[in-house]
């Protein structure tokens, strides 16, 4: 599984990246977490507000920092 955190490096994007790492660790799954900071690559996903998250090529949300429970839910649903 590949999880991309989309954002140009702002504090919210960094917070989401760390929360995602924590969620992956808590779930005990094998996932590669990548921080995508290139604005052109971010725009290619069609999101207008950061931070955002992409799991295995699919945008799951953008424009906010979800709760830890929501992040875990997004990842769990993607593994099913």
* Options 3, 5, 13, 75, the catalytic residue: 13
The residue among 68, 77, 80, 76 whose CA lies nearest residue 27 is 76
Q: Is 10 a catalytic residue?
A: yes
pLDDT tens column, 2-28: 999 999 989 999 999 999 999 999 999
Report yes or no: 17 and 5 within 8 Å, Cβ to Cβ: yes
Q: Per-residue confidence at 71, pLDDT binned at 50, 70, 90?
A: very high
Determine which one of 10, 12, 18, 63 is catalytic: 10
Task: State pTM to two decimals.
Answer: 0.92
Q: Domain extents for the chain?
A: 2-79
Return the closest-CA partner of residue 76 out of 33, 29, 17, 32.
29
Question: 30: which 2 tokens?
Answer: 């094998």
The CATH superfamily label for domain 2-79 reads Glutaredoxin (3.40.30.10)
């Amino acid at each position: 599984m590949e999880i991309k955190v989309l954002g140009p490096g702002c504090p919210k994007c960094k917070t989401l990246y760390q929360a995602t790492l924590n969620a992956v660790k808590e779930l005990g799954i094998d996932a590669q977490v990548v921080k995508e900071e290139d604005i052109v690559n971010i725009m290619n996903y069609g999101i207008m507000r950061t931070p955002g998250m992409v799991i295995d090529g699919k945008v799951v949300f953008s424009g906010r920092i979800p709760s830890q429970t929501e992040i875990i839910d997004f990842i769990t649903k993607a593994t099913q």
